[in-house]
């Protein structure tokens, strides 16, 4: 009986719980990865919703930086640019500001 118990414990130690990158909990995944749909994935790869929310945050920060450069530059043309950015706000920024935010992040 004791041998069976010891063998069961050893087997459960030997058999990895991370076979094939399968997961049930985030803590099943290595550091930096999260569990999504039964597999470990990078945090950004999890879903489109994640990418969307992050781009929104990036767009917000880039518009802030645009405003500050506008304040610093005091050029009328840059001011008009910043206004068009802010006017585009909700709709355009997803395509337009993503590029700028990506370049800004890099």
Partner 1 sequence: MHLTSIGLGVLFFLITGVAWGQRPVLEGAASAGSGASFGSGDGETTVLLSPIFMDVDIIYYNDEMPKIEYVIGFQAELQGRVSAGIIPQLRLTNGPREWMVYGLIGAPLVFAPFVMFGVEAGGGLLWKFHPRYGAFAEIVLDLFIIGNDLPDDGILAQLDANIGFRMTF
Joined together, the tokens standing for residue 29 give: 């995944």
> Applying CB under 8 A, does 13 fall inside the site for partner 1?
yes
Which of 77, 75, 97 is closest to 85 using CA atoms? 97
Which of 22, 26, 44 is closest to 35 using CA atoms? 26
Number of chain residues interacting with partner 1 (CB under 8 A): 20
Q: How far is the CB of 43 from partner 1 (least distance, A)?
A: 12
Alpha carbon 11 to its chain centroid, in Å, reads: 37
- Report helix, strand or coil for 85: helix
Joined together, the tokens standing for residue 8 give: 């069961």
For partner 1, give the closer residue by CB, 22 or 64: 22
Rounded to whole angstroms, how far apart are CA atoms 43 and 64?
25
> Applying CB under 8 A, does 3 fall inside the site for partner 1?
no
Q: Which of residues 31-60 bind partner 1 (CB under 8 A)?
A: 34-39
Exactly one of 3, 6, 7, 27 binds partner 1 (CB under 8 A); which one?
Answer: 27
Q: How far is the CB of 59 from partner 1 (least distance, A)?
A: 23
For partner 1, give the closer residue by CB, 31 or 103: 31
- Residues of the shown chain interacting with partner 1 in the complex, contacts defined by CB under 8 A: 5, 9, 12-13, 15, 17-18, 22-28, 34-39
């Amino acid at each position: 009986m004791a041998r069976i118990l010891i063998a069961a414990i050893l087997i459960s130690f030997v058999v990895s719980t991370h076979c094939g990158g399968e997961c049930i909990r985030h803590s099943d995944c290595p550091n930096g990865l999260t569990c999504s749909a039964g597999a470990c994935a990078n945090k950004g790869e999890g879903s489109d919703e994640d990418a969307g929310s992050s781009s929104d945050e990036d767009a917000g920060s880039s518009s802030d930086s645009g405003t500050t450069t506008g304040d610093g530059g005091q050029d009328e043309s840059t001011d008009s640019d910043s206004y068009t950015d802010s006017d585009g706000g909700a709709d355009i920024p997803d395509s337009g500001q993503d590029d700028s935010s990506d370049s800004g992040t890099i």
